[in-house]
Amino acid sequence: MDVIRLLPDSVANQIAAGEVIQRPASCLKELVENSLDAGAHTIRVLVRDAGKTLIQVTDDGSGMSATDARMAFERHATSKIRSAQDLFSLRSMGFRGEALPSICAVAQVKMTTRRADDEMGTLLEIAGSQVQRQEPCQCATGTSIQVQNLFFNVPARRRFLKSDQTELKNLITTFQHIVLVYPQVSFTFAADDEIVYDLPAGTHKQRIENVFGKSKSKLYTSQLLEIEQQTELVNIRGFVGKPEVASKQAQQLFFVNGRYMRHPYFHKAVMQAYAGMLPAEQLPPYFIYFDIAPEQIDVNVHPTKTEIKFADEQSIFPILAATVRAALGKFNVVPSIDFLGGDIEIPVSDERMRANAKAPELHLTAGYNPFAQQRESHHVVQNERVTPHWQELYEPLKQPQQAELPHEQMTEALRPQTVAGGYICCATENGLMLVHARRAHVTILYNQLIDQLHSHRSASQQLLFAEQLTVSADEQPVLEALLPDLRSIGFELERTSANGYDITALPSVLGNHNAETALRAIIARVADGQNDVHEQMQQRIALTLAQSAAIPQSKSLNETEMSDILSRLFALPSHRITPDGKTVVILLTAEDIARRFSV
């Protein structure tokens, strides 16, 4: 006797439903995407009990004929593709023709639909794949679908659902991901008769503000920088947050061809662009939209899957990183944005300001640390490799040029003052600026050392008497691997025994700081990050050395030194935080000050 039997449709649908419809949020997604595919301008969502008892989606889209309304619930019935070939040029959200049959297999569904030219619409009721009722009805143009009692006939699945709170959160997240792609469509979302979102049609920026501007982590469009890059392979546009609005729970969203996606690899590219700009553990918000030829991404993506495969990820990574970096760069070379306390868009003249921000003195000062005192003279000779002329180096100190200072608006006679505890305070047109002197110095030295590591142009001082360094057996290979980079920044080491080295030259920035301590700190830092790529290793070296060489917090500074720190700090592309994420500059605007004096 033959044993193989075809499953009845209702059973097959229920099995398929398990894949497509896992929770109220997946049902909502399918319904709203259908409305968008139908060209709707207005979409209203209503849920009850976190979607467990009701999910209703009403649109003013194309509507369906009576026959199509019936067909829509058949498996693999779709109006969106006709052949396998169409799969490769897919532009609609749905295409599998699986959503409606899956939903009606596991819920009680009621639909009304009418096309604009039809006098009467169609009412259809289906429960557990069985059509209960189909008749003409009066209804508005468009389609309204009510999904009641999801998983009413699959108790195991119903039990599998999370608390109402969690399921509602899922519904809202799903909704957010969709509305952020369709700012030209107006949406409402009501949960148990309470309006959660009422989003008018508008621009992308307005949509982002309408969705997140009222949330706990208020996000305003003035905090977002626009990005835009068109290449043959991919178009990238969207918004990235200014570094100072980074938070622990930032919205970080990617979309491709109108669809939300997760992409850990591209996330890395964005984070790389922010390198050195973010306080520890803080994440920048971003909303990045990719447009790419459909054949460049995996079309057969599973309906519930949000990770999407790109054919050429390796090429997109640097494009993305550079695009974000450029937006941040434009913003960062213009510290006046913040001095003015306003929410100014990127100034048009940023190219000019960027040119100004690069103080010409910088190339002279490689290896120069005004705070590292000369070693006692019997101890030091200048290395011929570089000949820093001290006069030249000090020249800019004597006449700090106003043009190098953060911006034109800074008061003419800028007179920085030190404040107890190692802070530099100065008046700006719009308030007060406080700079953490040691951290500023660390940041300056770090950037200088990174430059040297990249350019192999070190400034070092020879020691008359070598200093000894003894390392342990496990430190030795770490040190050996570091030698080329150490040489790039001015160290010279000669191996004298299995674990012994002679230090014969030092980076000038170190002054009379202890070379052995600095080297040990570098070895320890680098050993911590064994799997780092070379770039990160260099960053660790530069940071450790900068920390060893920078002025102590308690140091009191004269006016020249303060001006020097300020002009060099603000010549850097990024100066708000140290490379390890600590605050360097605090701005107190006139408003902040007024607020303090309000009582």
Helix, strand or coil, per DSSP, at residue 264? helix
Burial class (CB within 10 angstroms; exposed 0-12, middle 13-18, buried 19+) of 193: exposed
Looking at residue 192, the DSSP 8-state letter turns out to be T
Smallest distance, Å, CB 61 to ligand ADP? 5
Q: Is 303 in the site for Mg ion (CB under 5 A)?
A: no
Give whichever of 51 and 238 is closer to ligand ADP, judged by the CB atom. 51
Give whichever of 34 and 458 is closer to ligand ADP, judged by the CB atom. 34
Closest CB to Mg ion: residue number: 94
Q: Is 511 in the site for Mg ion (CB under 5 A)?
A: no
Give whichever of 94 and 142 is closer to Mg ion, judged by the CB atom. 94
Report the site for Mg ion in 264-283 (rule: CB under 5 A).
Answer: none
Taking residue 237's Cβ as centre, other Cβ atoms within 10 Å add up to 16
Give whichever of 35 and 251 is closer to ligand ADP, judged by the CB atom. 35
Smallest distance, Å, CB 105 to ligand ADP? 11
* 545 interface partner picked from ligand ADP, Mg ion, none, CB below 5 to 8 A per type: none
What does the angle CA 118 – CA 120 – CA 125 come to, to the nearest 5 degrees? 120
Give whichever of 257 and 323 is closer to Mg ion, judged by the CB atom. 257
φ, ψ for residue 48, nearest 5 deg: -125, 140
* 35 interface partner picked from ligand ADP, Mg ion, none, CB below 5 to 8 A per type: ligand ADP
Q: By CB under 5 A, which span of 27-35, 220-228, 282-290, 438-446 interacts with Mg ion?
A: 27-35
What one-letter code names the amino acid at 136?
P
Smallest distance, Å, CB 37 to Mg ion? 6
* 380 interface partner picked from ligand ADP, Mg ion, none, CB below 5 to 8 A per type: none
In angstroms, the CA 579 to CA 331 distance is 18
Smallest distance, Å, CB 253 to ligand ADP? 23
Strand partners, 261: 254
Give whichever of 34 and 365 is closer to ligand ADP, judged by the CB atom. 34
What secondary structure does DSSP assign to 496-529, as a single string?
Answer: -SSSEEEEEEEEGGGTTS-HHHHHHHHHHHHHHT
* 179 interface partner picked from Mg ion, ligand ADP, none, CB below 5 to 8 A per type: none
Give whichever of 169 and 259 is closer to Mg ion, judged by the CB atom. 259
Smallest distance, Å, CB 46 to ligand ADP? 15
φ, ψ for residue 502, nearest 5 deg: -105, 130
Is the distance from CB of 112 to CB of 137 less than 8 angstroms? yes
Q: Is 63 in the site for Mg ion (CB under 5 A)?
A: no
Both tokens of residue 392?
């030249």
Give whichever of 99 and 380 is closer to Mg ion, judged by the CB atom. 99
Give whichever of 23 and 575 is closer to ligand ADP, judged by the CB atom. 23
Give whichever of 34 and 251 is closer to Mg ion, judged by the CB atom. 34
Smallest distance, Å, CB 99 to Mg ion? 4
Is the distance from CB of 535 to CB of 543 less than 8 angstroms? no
* 38 interface partner picked from Mg ion, ligand ADP, none, CB below 5 to 8 A per type: ligand ADP
* 108 interface partner picked from Mg ion, ligand ADP, none, CB below 5 to 8 A per type: none
In angstroms, the CA 489 to CA 448 distance is 10
Both tokens of residue 256?
């491709």
* String of contacts with Mg ion for each residue 85-114, x by CB under 5 A: ---------x----x---------------
Taking residue 128's Cβ as centre, other Cβ atoms within 10 Å add up to 17
Give whichever of 34 and 282 is closer to ligand ADP, judged by the CB atom. 34
Smallest distance, Å, CB 82 to ligand ADP? 11
In angstroms, the CA 471 to CA 516 distance is 10
In angstroms, the CA 426 to CA 262 distance is 45
Please give the helix or strand (H or E) that residue 540 lies within, else none: helix 534-549
Smallest distance, Å, CB 69 to ligand ADP? 8
* 62 interface partner picked from ligand ADP, Mg ion, none, CB below 5 to 8 A per type: ligand ADP
Smallest distance, Å, CB 87 to ligand ADP? 12
Give whichever of 58 and 428 is closer to ligand ADP, judged by the CB atom. 58
**Contact set with ligand ADP (CB under 6 A):** 30, 34-35, 37-38, 59, 61-64, 72, 77-80, 94-100, 143
Smallest distance, Å, CB 31 to ligand ADP? 7
Smallest distance, Å, CB 128 to Mg ion? 20
In angstroms, the CA 206 to CA 124 distance is 38
Q: How many residues make contact with Mg ion (CB under 5 A)?
A: 3
* 169 interface partner picked from ligand ADP, Mg ion, none, CB below 5 to 8 A per type: none
Q: Is 34 in the site for Mg ion (CB under 5 A)?
A: yes
Closest CB to ligand ADP: residue number: 94
For 332-365, letters b (16+ CB in 10 Å) and e give: bbbbbbbbbbeeeeeeeebeebeebbebebbeeb
* String of contacts with Mg ion for each residue 409-448, x by CB under 5 A: ----------------------------------------
Q: By CB under 5 A, which span of 2-10, 31-39, 170-178, 421-429 interacts with Mg ion?
A: 31-39
Q: Measuring CA to CA, how many Å separate 188 from each of 47, 206, 472? A: 11, 15, 66
Both tokens of residue 570?
């603000």
Helix, strand or coil, per DSSP, at residue 401? coil
What is the CB-side half-sphere exposure of residue 98 using CA atoms within 13 A? 19
Residues in the chain: 599
Please give the helix or strand (H or E) that residue 11 lies within, else none: helix 9-20
Give whichever of 21 and 234 is closer to Mg ion, judged by the CB atom. 21
Q: Is 72 in the site for Mg ion (CB under 5 A)?
A: no
Q: H-type helices in 91-203, by residue range?
A: 99-105, 155-160, 164-179
Both tokens of residue 556?
């009191």
In angstroms, the CA 506 to CA 513 distance is 10
In angstroms, the CA 217 to CA 212 distance is 7
Q: Which residues bind Mg ion (CB under 5 A)?
A: 34, 94, 99
